Structure 1
């Protein structure tokens, strides 16, 4: 049933005003096929990142044995850091464009860049070319994070936003499992001899991206973005079309009250206002976001990018068999956000974020000590990592959830990009290179010291979240952070 159109433009005195109830109407929708399709078409970004990260680790042995490349452990760490550096710069550039030009335009651009770059990686002929193509692949993925996270959250009803976001982030590990399984086949020298196997691995992502391009054709622009860029009528048409889908399926909105929002008309947000909002108006939230992103980036990238190196160096696992150990690791990571995700909407963001970060740090200290004392065999080591990252996966996912819902609508994509870039730049770029160096020492004690650094960062982030975290559970995005263009009653 259609509703009266409130998103009209009036002109009191000096400024035009958009009065709308569209965000509230989106939050009142029940979960339906529309939301599932949005998640499938856009959330696959995490799957692609998981695929790329896993392939980088799984093919490490093949890259070292390659008669053309002959990489060292340090070379592999450098290439991994190039991927993360690309993701950092891609997130910043594409994040700004996402807020400026729209969500829909950018998630096509970033996906196309990823497709071309990951295919080009298979044609690498030396370290410089491999690192360049990995850099460009990372740029596409980093841009995807900004465009995709903002789009999905702006369509998702507030009451399930936490669980949905964590569940989507967990699909990173579906990609990881896909990469691990693919590597077991493609790195088998009996099937793909010589340099062919690792090159074929990188075509998996390109093939998936090609299919995803067509899946995204039907995804509309975010009505919330349109409202903040003076396109209320287009926004209303999209929301009414979505409501009509539910009406045809016999699904009624929830009984939540419809709230009206008044916005000053604008076409873009100046950068000075962006940085004022991030580092003055919401500086405490910025500290929380930076702490969470930095800790999880170091924790994950340092360990996961060098996962295969630990297996081959200290447990003497053949490079072609690394995938068998990645599969159970990926399973634990995938189950964590799914099992724990609903608690982020019920027990609350602050409680669950602090808990998952703290328990991850404590467990890594314990398993790292056992590793250093050589009390774990390769199966026990894998089981320990499964348990640790069951919690760490939910923690890392909650970092993206936090930075994407804590800031005003006009700057959400850029906020995601900035904190992803800062956190990943500080914790992620240095992590793989550092651990590559530590593993090259062939000393377990040196690697354990690296684990202690990662654990310390997670424990510090848990404390920051417990004290200053935002209680955003079951609240609309506009309630968690008032849009910069919003007008109060007195205005």
Structure 2
């Protein structure tokens, strides 16, 4: 036990409150920006890895003679693995720390990227993508908890979402890589590019400190103090303003052990079920759209491979633009209001597509990206919102559980499209997606909690 906690629970709570007060007023320094860049690099390639199979798939359909059901199964396999990874690594991050867990996830998804290079059939690709998904599923929720724990309430949304916007940029890059590399070099070139994080991330992680909030939650106040003191010294050295600490809300159980069952007790039960509903609805639609569209353009509308890939890239591109707008605005608008409006607005182009019948590629390439872009502002910012809903002892595991439903919904989306296209036709895909999106709006307006501008410990005692 450290000297801070020697006086018992009250001393530990007071030490934690003092530490948080110091941390809340630290400005964005070069160190914090560097952390965002390093973690962002891993997240960039996580996003790239998630989507790259969609741009390889039109080629694999021809090479391996895949049926629509096989296509849906392969696209879904990675998300099933991500479901497991999100829960597993969220739990692990609460026990061994954010940084060791991030390293494990990166090594796992990079090693499986190598395995995908040597896939020889639909079955082998399905297995490798499932295993790779375990690593990719764990990286983003743990990274989200880690970054949230460094930044004060007033600047948390903007700082975090300017990191998180790298995820849709990674999706965009996957589209560009698919467009230029697949026709010239084949689908394996896409997985070669995915090896870059192995070169970049492992040495750069040495520059990142462990989360001071996690250290304090484990009773390691001396280590937490060292991290906060380092950030304070760097702020002063850079000439940044460093106001006097303002008393932060006191966590009555700052060193309490993490227990996943607490997610379903007290105020956290309603929050947990609410955030699960948001993850499921928005990702069932968005990942169903973005992973299937390149194949739909080629198989349903008989467009050339390169045109199909270009149209798929357009969807990712408008998603990036919408995400940047959200990152710059959500601290002013608020989470609950933004999500409610976005869900309702995203329903409109899906309803129009269903009404028109989605009979031409033009209808789809105009309206589907609009729906995707609007909903992407919710999808990419849910990691911010999830991390705000839980205390430090539950943050990684709560975000992991929530994003596990992202993976489950993302797995269901491509399967849904595959079965509906094969049995009913494309218009009914958009009709089903419109119903799901409307359900997301109802969950938001009835149950969402506003977190804008509030200290994490105030939100989650």
TM-score by length of 1: 0.87
Judged with a 3 Å threshold, the aligned counterparts in structure 2 of structure 1 residues 215 and 326 are, in CA distance, closer, same or farther, namely farther
Give the corresponding residue for 1:299: 285
Question: Which residue of structure 2 aligns with residue 430 of structure 1?
Answer: 412
Following superposition of structure 1 onto structure 2, how do residues 79-478 of structure 1 map, counting pairs within 5 Å?
79-188=74-183, 191-192=184-185, 197-254=186-243, 257-259=246-248, 261=250, 264=253, 266=255, 268-269=257-258, 271=259, 274-370=260-356, 372=357, 374=359, 376-378=360-362, 380-425=363-408, 427-441=409-423, 446-478=425-457
Render the CA deviation track for 1:307-349: whole Å, top value 9, x for unaligned: 1121112322222443322332222111112112333211222
- Kindly tell me the number of residue pairs found equivalent between the two proteins: 459
Q: Is the CA contact (8 Å cut-off) linking 2:153 and 2:454 kept in structure 1?
A: yes
Per-residue Cα deviation, 1:427-450 (whole angstroms, up to 9, x for no partner): 222211121122334x5xx32222
Secondary structure of the corresponding residue to residue 155 of structure 1: coil
Which has the higher mean CA deviation after the structures are superposed, 348-357 or 208-217? 208-217
For 1:53 and 1:408, how far apart are their aligned partners in 2?
29
Q: 1:19-40 CA deviation, whole Å, 9 max, x = no partner? A: 2322222221222322221111
- 1:414–1:220: structure 2 CA closer, same or farther, 3 Å change rule? same
Contact 1:163 1:338 (8 Å CA) reproduced: no
Deviation digits for residues 109-135 of structure 1 (CA, Å, limit 9, x no counterpart) = 100001101111110112222111101
Counterpart CA distance in 1 for 2:353 and 2:243 is 47
The farther-off stretch of 145-154 and 171-180 is: 171-180
* Inter-CA distance 15–260: structure 2 relative to 1 (3 Å threshold): closer
Residue 242 of structure 1: CA displacement? Answer: 1.0
* Contact 2:358–2:426 (8 Å) recurs in 1: no
Secondary structure at 1:42 match in 2: helix
Over the residues paired in the alignment, what is the CA RMSD in angstroms?
A: 2.3
Gaps of 5+ in 2: none
- Is the contact made by 1:360 and 1:389 (CA closer than 8 Å) also made in structure 2? yes
Shift of residue 201 of structure 1?
1.1
Of 41, 46, 51, which aligns to 2:48? 51
1:159, CA displacement in angstroms?
1.3
Cα distance, 1:262 vs structure 2? 5.2
User: CA-to-partner distance for each residue in 1:88-146, whole Å, 9 max, x for gaps?
Assistant: 00111111000111001000010000110111111011222211110111111111022
Q: CA deviation at 1:225?
A: 0.2
CA contact (8 A) 1:309 1:439 kept: no
Q: Contact 2:42/2:197 (CA < 8 Å) preserved in 1?
A: no
Q: Tell me whether 15-24 or 124-133 shows the greater mean CA deviation.
A: 15-24
Match of 1:488 in 2: none
Is 2:4 aligned against 1:22? no
Counterparts of 2:11 and 2:237, CA distance in 1: 39
Contact 1:293 1:400 in 2 (8 A): no
Cα pair distance change 1:397/1:91, threshold 3 Å: same
Q: Does the alignment pair 1:11 with 2:27?
A: no
Q: Structure 1 or 2: larger helix share? A: 2
TM-score (norm 2): 0.93
Residue in structure 2 matched with residue 487 of structure 1 by the alignment = none
Contact 1:122 1:199 in 2 (8 A): yes
Change (3 A) 1:353 1:24: farther
Q: Is the contact made by 1:27 and 1:157 (CA closer than 8 Å) also made in structure 2?
A: yes
Q: 5+ residue gaps in structure 1?
A: 1-5, 483-491
CA distance in 2, matches of 1:302, 1:92: 22
Q: Please give the secondary structure, in 2, of the residue aligned with 1:306.
A: helix
The aligned residue for residue 489 of structure 1 is: none
